Structure 1
Amino acid sequence: MKILFIGGTGTISAGITRELIKNPKIELYLINRGSRSEEFADKVTFIKGDINKEAEIAKKIEGLQFDVVADFIGYLPEHIERDYRLFKGKTKQFMYISSASAYQKPLNDYRITEATPVSNPYWEYSRNKIACEDYLIKLYRNEGFPVTIIRPSHTYDERSVPVGVRGEKGSWQVIKRILEGKPVIIHGDGTSLWTMTHACDFAKGFIGLMGNFRAIGETIHITSDETLTWNQIYQCIANALGVELHAYHVASEFLAAVSKYDFIGGLIGDKANSVVFDNSKLKRLVPDFVATKHFEEGIKETIDYVLTHEECQKEDQAFDAWCNYVIEVLEEAKNTLANKKQCTQLM
């Protein structure tokens, strides 16, 4: 089977690439600009270049035919329009990685199936993904373009610790706060439900859908069946670090209102909502799919990796100061109101 990935070395795609290169029957091509290429050197065929330079890429793939083409980095409709021009008539299956954040917000039902409506007025990223999906479905219906749309939810690998509230430089500063015994902001009261999926489990479902004729024209989400509260997620992280967690709960609406960070999209339009995914459709299409990496195990591996790789430890002093300030302001408000209550009682 001849496969082409646009991307192929990111959080979601690297795990799939690792599995595919173990199979001698797979001929894997990656289009990217050389990011993390050393890991897969001599194991895949690199087409080095910027996918946005369409004419250049068109020349490099001239004469090639693929069983599967997958785009992991397409975020805007113009990206998908470009893909169509490049790969029309050159692939038996085009797989587009969308996002489970596209599902309806606010939710009518926390149990999500592929039949759940897509609508997210809070997050432009999600609306763009929906627009990409709409374009591809029209191509499938009107021209028979062999599309399969994949919706991952919160997927993590060994390089990234998944958290709900973080700054622009990633999650390391949150980990640092936990290690230093500082209070760590958790959105809401920490009891909303969430699903964490390890990249190795996502890879199992994705590979099962590759070359699967029953997946053509379908939209499928790939997630773990394990559901956790955010309090449990942060506790697992603290346990993996071997320290006590000092949780500080802050309403998601408050965070979105006062923060310079994108908490309207990332929280109100995504992580603040309770979600439980029904993977029945995936399991019908890929009967042997089972997500086996429980979060407690997966996050321990991630923490071990991050603690031993300095490139994963990007400090974010601005975010750290912001957390301190938010907590300080809320504690002052709490004390002020408590004192006012006492004065009222004495009157």
Structure 2
Amino acid sequence: MSRILLLGAPGNISASTIDLLTEQHHSIFALTNFQGDLSDYQQKVTFFHGDRNEPNDLIYARDNSKAEIVIDYSCFMPEQAESAVKVFSQMVVQYIFVSTVDVYGYPLSQLPMPEDGKRNAPNCPYAANKAKCEEIFQRPGTEVLPLTIVRPAYSMGNRFLLTALSRDGGYTLIPRLRAGKPVFSPGDGTALIHAGNAYNTGRMIAQIAGDTRCIGEDFTLANDTVTSYDDYIKITADHLNAKPQFVHIPTDFVYESNLPGTEDILLNDLTRYNVYFDISKFRRFFPDFKWKKSLSESIREFIQYNEDNFKDVDTFSFEDQIIEKYLHEHH
């Protein structure tokens, strides 16, 4: 059994990591600034409340957990990676950095995209900063940090259901479908998206934790199936007994419209191109791993969890604006 310190928890992915690590009887600690209710985790995790941007808080969590393994969910900026290297080098037997598949760059250089495939330039600050963090963790001289890099694909959970326009798009998608409002779909709706379940992703990370074969390795973490964007929306609609009223709009039209909010949408890194990742490396290392929840199950759970949180569709949104503009100019 190991002593495992989580940096940033509980969250969308880390919740199921905690569950599996608990089943495996590890001692779990977490440095968190989470302000919500932690009562569900009190029997599983010892929490240190602090700021991972403060080196003294990292040192306090390191020393009081006596961690052998660190899983870093909350490193997003290069300076955070620099600090982590200083605090944890020569102090742990494994350091798992949770990066993102977005570092591969879009369009992907090949399909499905393997870990060692040719990367294209990151097309958003989030991906660019994660890539810089990877470079810092991997640079010569940091070999004393026994590193494993994991790169989750989009992982749906109770607080996260995306659309082509927004990372929190589920909060508007569900009421739109229920109300029978038109739903934006990029291109012809057939672009592949590799959307999965945070429950599975978190358990994949827990599987890697403590496995010394994984030191010096990197892994893409994604669902074992892939779907088209339209089919993804149809799966969501089925849970609502609704029929989506798609309006298919070319991605170029959306960007050329220059409507306020265009800079925040996800088309460039989600649905402009086919997105499909190769998870065969993880399968080779862990041939007995089971993907226990389907994409459909995670969508259903999101709907049930958020019944009181969905947004008012009477507000004229970016989605309404782009649909109205497109229909006005093409019909």
TM-score normalised by the chain length of structure 1: 0.87
Q: Which residue type is aligned with residue 235 of structure 1?
A: K
Q: Contact 1:77 / 1:131 at 8 angstroms: preserved in 2?
A: yes
Alpha-carbon distance between aligned partners in 2 of 1:10 and 1:63, rounded to the nearest angstrom: 22
Task: Give the equivalent residue in structure 1 for 2:301.
Answer: 301
Task: Give the equivalent residue in structure 2 for 1:49.
Answer: 50
Correspondences of 1:225-236 after superposition (within 5 Å):
225-236=224-235
Structure 1: unaligned runs, 5 residues or longer: 336-347
Task: Give the equivalent residue in structure 2 for 1:288.
Answer: 288
1:296 Cα offset (Å): 2.4
Alpha-carbon distance between aligned partners in 1 of 2:259 and 2:9, rounded to the nearest angstrom: 33
1:219 Cα offset (Å): 1.1
Task: Give the equivalent residue in structure 2 for 1:215.
Answer: 214
Q: Contact 1:69 / 1:95 at 8 angstroms: preserved in 2?
A: yes
**C-alpha spacing 1:332/1:142, structure 2 compared with 1 (3 Å):** closer
CA deviation digits over 1:194-237, x for unaligned, max 9? 11211221123211111111111111111112110000000001
Alpha-carbon distance between aligned partners in 1 of 2:312 and 2:210, rounded to the nearest angstrom: 42
Task: Give the equivalent residue in structure 2 for 1:120.
Answer: 121
Larger deviation: 81-90 or 220-229? 81-90
Task: Give the equivalent residue in structure 2 for 1:32.
Answer: 32
**C-alpha spacing 1:175/1:4, structure 2 compared with 1 (3 Å):** same
**C-alpha spacing 1:316/1:27, structure 2 compared with 1 (3 Å):** farther
CA deviation digits over 1:216-260, x for unaligned, max 9? 111111111211000000000110111111111122223234243
**C-alpha spacing 1:59/1:204, structure 2 compared with 1 (3 Å):** closer
**C-alpha spacing 1:298/1:146, structure 2 compared with 1 (3 Å):** same
Task: Give the equivalent residue in structure 1 for 2:245.
Answer: 246
Alpha-carbon distance between aligned partners in 1 of 2:261 and 2:273, rounded to the nearest angstrom: 18
1:150 Cα offset (Å): 0.3
Correspondences of 1:76-155 after superposition (within 5 Å):
76-139=77-140, 143-155=143-155
1:149 Cα offset (Å): 0.4
Q: Contact 1:165 / 1:186 at 8 angstroms: preserved in 2?
A: no
Q: Contact 1:7 / 1:30 at 8 angstroms: preserved in 2?
A: yes
Alpha-carbon distance between aligned partners in 2 of 1:64 and 1:43, rounded to the nearest angstrom: 14
Q: Which residue type is aligned with residue 199 of structure 2?
A: C
1:321 Cα offset (Å): 3.0
1:152 Cα offset (Å): 0.3
The structure with the largest alpha-carbon Rg is: 1
Alpha-carbon distance between aligned partners in 2 of 1:262 and 1:99, rounded to the nearest angstrom: 23
Task: Give the equivalent residue in structure 2 for 1:20.
Answer: 21
Bigger fraction of residues in helix? 1
Q: Which residue type is aligned with residue 327 of structure 1?
A: I
1:127 Cα offset (Å): 1.1
1:173 Cα offset (Å): 1.4
Structure 2: unaligned runs, 5 residues or longer: none
SS for the counterpart of 1:289 is coil
% identity of equivalent residues: 25
1:156 Cα offset (Å): 0.9
Q: Which residue type is aligned with residue 190 of structure 2?
A: T
1:174 Cα offset (Å): 1.9
Alpha-carbon distance between aligned partners in 2 of 1:243 and 1:49, rounded to the nearest angstrom: 44
1:144 Cα offset (Å): 3.2
TM-score normalised by the chain length of structure 2: 0.91
CA deviation digits over 1:267-306, x for unaligned, max 9? 2134322122221111122221232322223322322222
SS for the counterpart of 1:276 is coil
Alpha-carbon distance between aligned partners in 1 of 2:262 and 2:42, rounded to the nearest angstrom: 36
Alpha-carbon distance between aligned partners in 2 of 1:214 and 1:222, rounded to the nearest angstrom: 17
